[in-house]
């Protein structure tokens, strides 16, 4: 617990340093508008990253979550525009798509004993292909009731922000306060030991991939609400951002250690970095170079931290 608090304190300090640097370099950064913009862009990234945290904790990886997000958004669009379904039913279909894809990923990974990296890489391509087919590779404007999902809210923050904030708190509680959460840490620490201790390893691993898919599906709905459209490229690259946020937040890529709260801070650090660089007028190639450098640094720190070179 003490070590976790130190890590989270380090993240908060890094975030404060980023804010100070950007406030120094950009007169428009330290304003309520900046932070409201960042907060209202967070929901889908947070949902995907929370799901990725669960997967990484058990020692896996899910490269398909960005494509699943796009697929859920496309299913929502088809259900509304071609099926003329009411929004609640269309939203249920979109979210269910994410759940089903995650469940299929988990079943193939666990039952066929395949590396999750390979299975989710294939699912990444399949889900993106299905998204292009459903949207005919064109952005589908949804408007109307979908826009209302992102309207209103308290203090300038949209309803999806508050819903996802509640989901983050709930997910942290599940990991730290329930048998289910403790079993996930046990699987990530040593799958064989967990199995010999009576933990239903296979069932829990399938459940975790299903949860990650469902959260990505919900992220697709929030993405469509924020953009008022179903974008065939929605979620492209989001799996890498999610992995980066998970690692920056202190979750070990080898599994068994980490927290949802740390991941949420990792998402916030990346969002502040992206917004700050945009306000400084940094061009996209350099922006991606700097963001990639931060991700590589986070992975190196993860390796050093858990190999004992820093903490021991």
Q: For the segment 127-158, what is each residue's pLDDT rounded down to a tens digit?
A: 999 999 999 999 989 877 788 777 777 778 88
Number of domains in the chain: 1
Rounded to whole angstroms, the Cα distance separating 266 from 42 reads 11
Burial of 17 from C-beta contacts in 10 A (0-12 / 13-18 / 19+): exposed
| pTM beyond 0.85 | yes
DSSP string of 46-69, one letter each residue: HHHHHHHHHHHHTT---TTHHHHH
Residue 280: inside a domain: yes
Residue 78's CB is within 10 A of a number of other CB atoms, namely 18
Range of the domain at 100: 37-304
Residue 262: inside a domain: yes
Residue 14: inside a domain: no
Residue 2: inside a domain: no
Residue 24: inside a domain: no
Which of 7, 34, 9, 62 has the alpha carbon at shortest distance from 273? 34
Residue 23: inside a domain: no
Rounded to whole angstroms, the Cα distance separating 230 from 252 reads 34
Q: For the segment 63-103, what is each residue's pLDDT rounded down to a tens digit?
A: 999 999 999 999 999 999 999 999 899 999 999 999 999 99
Could you state, in chain order, the average pLDDT of each consecutive group of 10 residues for the chain (312 residues)? 65 87 90 91 94 96 96 95 91 94 97 94 96 94 80 81 94 95 95 94 97 96 91 92 90 90 93 91 83 77 63 44
Which residues 6+ apart lie within 8 Å of 239 measured at CB? 48, 52, 62, 63, 64, 65, 66, 67, 124
Residue 13: inside a domain: no
CATH code (residue 116): 1.10.3470
Residue 93: inside a domain: yes
């Amino acid at each position: 617990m003490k070590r976790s608090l130190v890590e989270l304190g380090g993240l908060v300090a890094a975030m404060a340093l980023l804010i100070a640097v950007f406030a120094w370099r950009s007169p428009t950064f330290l304003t309520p508008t900046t932070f409201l913009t960042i907060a209202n862009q967070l929901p889908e990234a947070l949902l995907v990253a929370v799901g990725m945290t669960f997967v990484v904790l058990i020692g896996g990886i899910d490269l398909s979550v960005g494509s699943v997000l796009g697929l859920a958004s496309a299913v929502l669009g088809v259900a509304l525009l071609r099926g003329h379904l009411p929004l609640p039913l269309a939203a249920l279909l979109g979210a269910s798509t994410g759940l089903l894809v995650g469940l299929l990923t988990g079943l193939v990974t666990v039952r066929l004993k395949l590396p999750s990296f390979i299975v989710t890489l294939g699912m990444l391509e399949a889900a993106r292909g299905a998204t292009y087919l459903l949207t005919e590779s064109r952005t589908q404007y949804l408007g109307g009731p979908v826009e209302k999902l992102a309207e209103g809210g308290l203090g300038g923050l949209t309803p999806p922000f508050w819903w996802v904030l509640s989901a983050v708190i709930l997910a942290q509680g599940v990991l730290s306060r329930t048998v289910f959460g403790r079993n996930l840490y046990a699987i990530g620490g040593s799958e064989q030991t967990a199995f010999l201790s009576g933990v239903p390893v296979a069932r829990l691993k399938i459940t975790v991939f299903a949860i990650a898919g469902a959260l990505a599906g919900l992220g697709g709905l929030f993405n469509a609400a924020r953009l008022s459209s179903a974008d065939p490229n929605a979620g492209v690259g989001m799996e890498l951002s999610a992995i980066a946020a998970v690692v920056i937040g202190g979750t070990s890529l080898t599994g068994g250690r980490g927290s949802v709260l740390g991941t949420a801070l990792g998402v916030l650090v990346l969002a502040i970095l992206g917004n700050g660089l945009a306000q400084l007028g940094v061009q996209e190639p350099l922006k991606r170079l700097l963001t990639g450098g931060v991700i590589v640094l986070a992975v190196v720190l993860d390796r050093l931290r858990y190999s004992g070179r820093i903490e021991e």
